[in-house]
Amino acid sequence: MTALQTVQITRRVDPHLSIDRYDPEGELMLLHFGPQHPSTHGVFRMDLYLDGEKVVKVIPHVGYLHRAVEKLCETLAYVQITPIVDKNDYVAPMTNEQALNMAFEAALKLEVPRRARWMRTLFAELQRIASHLLWLGTFALDLGGALGGGSTVFIHCFRERELVLDLFEEVTGARFHYNTHTIGGNRHDLPAGWSAKVHAALDVIGPRLDEYEAMTLENRIFLDRTVGVGKLDAELALELGITGPILRACGVDHDLRRDAPFHAYDEVKVNVVTAQGGDCLARAQVRLGEMRESVRLVRQMVDGVPEGSINSGKPVKLPVQTKIPPGQVYVAIETPRGELGTYLVSDGTQFPYRLKIRPPSLHALSALPYIVPGGTVSDAVAILGSLDPIMGEVDR
């Protein structure tokens, strides 16, 4: 946490402003990269100003997937909001629910039973594995193409991700949009024999992570494409509010799981994975390391889930009529992409007055104008992929 407090906000030259000096005759080619483009991870648009293959200037445009989720939440009862925010970070839906319901619980000052907190931790870590696997697959797709080696990595990663989704299905009945967290605890208890299945799945995933490391971090072409590409320095990352693996890849040792423990993270030791360099390779190293750490954490915790209730049984008999006392609260958790925050303002009715979601991906995208210029179009694709943006949570 120390690093965070020493940040000085410095005035930087906006990279957008230097364009006229570079290109007085306006001879640069403007390439609209997206929103319908295979490598924009959804609907994202970058205006690339190209000098040949070289990118001179980048203007990111967000908002193509805007669904007015935050406004919609103001018209819904608190328990109805969970399935809506599931669709924000659609690669790690569990963490959306957790951040949201933790905010409600904090506002209600509810104590979540220990069993529910352990289950949430387990879910979060399993979700991290699934999310990072999907990232690795799509990143390889960006580097290697859908009709080539990239898709081979992609499909192999999806094979392992399936195992995790199967585990979630076992608990919640849903493979993706779970709606398993609720105010004060969880909705679905762990089925009998679930921990054995978790161990079986991890027995498969663990060794395969070695294979993925060999396929990527020891692959000459992968290294050529990632080393020194998209270098982001720690100071700029902190200034832009970037969190999660991207920040840790810049060498900043910051992880909310350890620094501001939520769920049951205060009962286990989390080894924070960091890397130096801040380039695409460092981000890949951090995410691959985090998958191993998550495998270790899940193995450690899955047998020790305490007995007891999974829900506090509060606040009222009819959950839809839950009212939160007037006030405001901000809760942040560490998702696979960084700090996912929920800011809730309540006016005492059964609907939120304002519900603001702070998505880590939006802040990650704000680095693009700084780190893409100077590289080629290919680098722009690699950098965008390495930031792991999920447009569902960027645009909301």
Partner 1 sequence: MSDGLLHGVVYSVLIVSVVLTATAMALWFERKFAARMQTRLGPTIVGPIGLLQPVADLLKLLQKEDIVPDNADAAIFNLVPPLAALAALGAAAVVPFSPSVVASDLDVGVLYVLAIGAVTVLPIFGAGWSSNNKLALLGGMRAVAQSISYEVPLLLSAMVPVILSGSLRLGTIVQMQADHHWFVVWPFFIGLPAFGIFMLAMLAEANRIPFDIPEAESELVAGVTTEYTGMKFALFYMAEYVHTIVASAVGAALFLGGWDGPFFPGLHWMVLKTLLLFTAVYWVRWSLLRFRSDQLMGLCWKWLVPMGVLLVGAAATWVVVFP
Site residues, partner 1 (CB under 8 A):
29, 31, 37-39, 50, 52-53, 140-152, 155-156, 159, 219, 221-222, 224-225, 376-379, 381
d(C-alpha 302, C-alpha 298), whole Å: 6
Q: Which is nearer to partner 1, 44 or 123 (CB)?
A: 44
> Under a CB-based contact definition with an 8 Å cutoff, are residues 55 and 380 in contact?
yes
Using alpha carbons, list the distances in angstroms from residue 133 to 157, 162, 164, 359, 373. 5, 10, 10, 20, 28
Counts of helices then strands in the chain (DSSP H, E): 17, 8
Q: How far is the CB of 159 from partner 1 (least distance, A)?
A: 6
Pick between residue 144 and residue 244 the one whose CB is nearest to partner 1: 144
CA Rg, the chain, in Å? 21
In the bound complex, what is the minimum distance in angstroms from residue 49's beta carbon to partner 1?
12
Determine phi and psi for 191, rounding to 5 degrees.
Answer: -75, 160
Q: Report in angstroms how near the CB of residue 221 gets to partner 1 at its nearest.
A: 5
Smallest gap from residue 41 Cβ to partner 1 (A): 11
* Closer of 228 and 261 to partner 1 (Cβ): 228
* Cβ-based nearer residue to partner 1, 309 or 378: 378
CB of 142 to partner 1, least distance (A): 5
Closer residue to partner 1 (CB): 3 or 50: 50
**Taking Cα atoms as reference points, which of 151, 187, 191, 156 lies closest to residue 171?**
191
Nearest approach in angstroms of CB 143 to partner 1 is: 4
With respect to partner 1, which residue has the nearer C-beta, 224 or 303? Answer: 224
Least CB distance from residue 33 to partner 1, whole Å?
9
Q: Which is nearer to partner 1, 160 or 334 (CB)?
A: 160
Closest CA to 239 of 6, 3, 9: 9
111 DSSP 8-state letter: P
Joined tokens for residue 44: 């994202």
**Given the complex with partner 1, which of 56 and 69 has the nearer CB atom?**
56
Quickly count: other Cβ atoms within 10 Å of residue 134's Cβ.
Answer: 20
N-to-C CA span, the chain? 29
DSSP string, 240-299: TT--THHHHHTT----HHHHS--TTTTSS-------SS-SHHHHHHHHHHHHHHHHHHHH
DSSP state of 176: S
**Beta carbon of residue 156, minimum distance to partner 1 (angstroms, whole number):** 7
> Closest separation between CB of residue 161 and partner 1, Å?
13
* CA 271 – CA 255 distance, rounded (Å): 9
Nearer to partner 1, 50 or 165 (CB): 50
| Ordered strands of the 29-33 beta sheet | 29-33, 45-51, 54-61
